[in-house]
Structure 1
Amino acid sequence: MLKFKWFQKPFRPRDIAISSDNTYYSLDNNNNQVVVNDENEHVIRYFGKKELKDPLDIGISPVDGTVYVTDMGGHCVRVYTRYGKYLRSFGSQGKGQGQFDLPWGVAISSTGMVFVADNLNMRIQVFDADDQYLCSFDCQSGDGKMRCPRGIAIDDQYVYVTTDTSSSLLKFESSGKFVCRIDSDSDGLDCPTGIALTDDVPCRVVVADTNNHCIKVFVQ
């Protein structure tokens, strides 16, 4: 169990990502920073305290190990090297292209494209590896209606999204075309948040079902 007595406030992890070399990157919400440790719980470094205001989600690029953190307090996505050097941020508060209203989940594709769940704007925004806006998708009808997206996970073909107010698990093509709703009303998801994919083919979709206090696994 990780405990850090030298931090100003108790360690309060909000999200975690694991790099290709099996290093753990945890978001410490109480101290507004990223904590990096190995699988034996040894702390390697921590960073982001100078920039982060209220971090929500973290993703690591499979291309070069770049670390992306959604910062609710800064209305942006902050970008760091794997060693914790601050590179840049992109986004601002608003409803326009490249702007955010409560940026939540973030995921990076095998080609370096960055997908961000823009929660209160009820859409997913897509950026290239240079942080340039490419497109967004915000299905607003039928089973694919996207209301307050939170968690996001991607594979080489599809984007998987958990939504808050409609409490559903949605699947889209990377272009934004709605494919299907994976869960059903009888599954009883209640405020699903974090989401991850297994390496199976087809993959299993693992969801943190927050208000039901459990993890649920869906097979496509």
Structure 2
Amino acid sequence: MDDNKGVHKISINGQDSGSLAEKGEKPGQFNTPEGIIASHDTHHIYVADRGNHRIQVLNPDLTSFLVFGSKGSGEGQFDEPWGLAIDSDEFLYVVDSKNHRIQKFTSKGEFVMEFGKTGEGTLSSPAGITISHKNQLYVTEKGTHSVAVFDTEGHFINRFGRHVSNPDYCLKCPEGIDFDCNGLLYICDYFNKRIVVY
């Protein structure tokens, strides 16, 4: 889990088995960490260090493995990175929130591509991201109160959540998002103070 200063490693019974909780700009220090995800293959832990505008990669024992990114709008730069996802080929997707885009990287932090800045799939204040069993990316957008869907090459597929026939499924500033093992999609509907299940 993360908090406003660092990362905590919690056992399944709730015991803290390690933490990095020092605020700062050095490797292993954080400033408002936001997104976190672990690789099933390498077991590295990726953290969106939002206030430092970078991604930190930790070893399972929480020692620093890799840090990449800086503030800006160029390739591999960030303006408040938020959600993170890893696909079946170990590519990392970073929600670059204030640059209104998704950036794709190798597991070593090498820039691959960006998407979400133009066309039908133009993003507005994206926040959360997850990957379906079909390898499709689902991105929550606070600016459009919806979820945008892309393939892993950045091609836009569709958008839902703002204008739906059932008002119970209308979203307002959605943030966190994830699938369960049965394929159900759970969305943190922030301003409506609820979880919506699709």
Q: TM-score, normalised by structure 2?
A: 0.90
Q: Deviations over 1:36-84 (max 9, x none)?
A: 1112111111125251112111111121111011111211001101110
From 148, 153, 160, the counterpart of 1:175: 153
Alignment partners' CA distance in 2, 1:210 and 1:183: 13
Aligned 8 A contact 1:152 1:161 in 2? yes
Q: CA deviation at 1:94?
A: 0.7
Q: Deviations over 1:68-115 (max 9, x none)?
A: 111112110011011101112111111111011111111112221110
2:10 aligned with 1:28, yes or no? no
Partner of 2:15: 42
Q: TM-score, normalised by structure 1?
A: 0.81
Aligned 8 A contact 1:63 1:111 in 2? no
Identity among equivalent pairs (%): 31
From 115, 125, 147, the counterpart of 1:148: 125
Work out the number of aligned pairs and report it: 188
Runs of 4+ with >2 A deviation: 139-142
Aligned 8 A contact 2:145 2:162 in 1? no
Q: CA RMSD, aligned part only?
A: 1.4
Q: CA deviation at 1:140?
A: 3.3
Distance change (3 Å), C-alpha of 1:188 and 1:182? closer
Partner of 1:197: 179
Partner of 1:103: 81
Aligned 8 A contact 1:62 1:110 in 2? no
Q: CA deviation at 1:180?
A: 1.1
Aligned pairs (5 A) from 1:106-185: 106-142=84-120, 144-155=121-132, 157-185=135-163
> In structure 1, the residue corresponding to 2:191 is in which secondary structure?
helix
Alignment partners' CA distance in 2, 1:215 and 1:133: 33
Aligned 8 A contact 1:192 1:209 in 2? yes
Q: CA deviation at 1:175?
A: 0.5
Aligned pairs (5 A) from 1:11-90: 26-29=1-4, 32-47=5-20, 49=22, 50-90=28-68
Q: CA deviation at 1:128?
A: 0.4
5+ residue gaps, structure 2, are 23-27
Q: CA deviation at 1:139?
A: 4.8
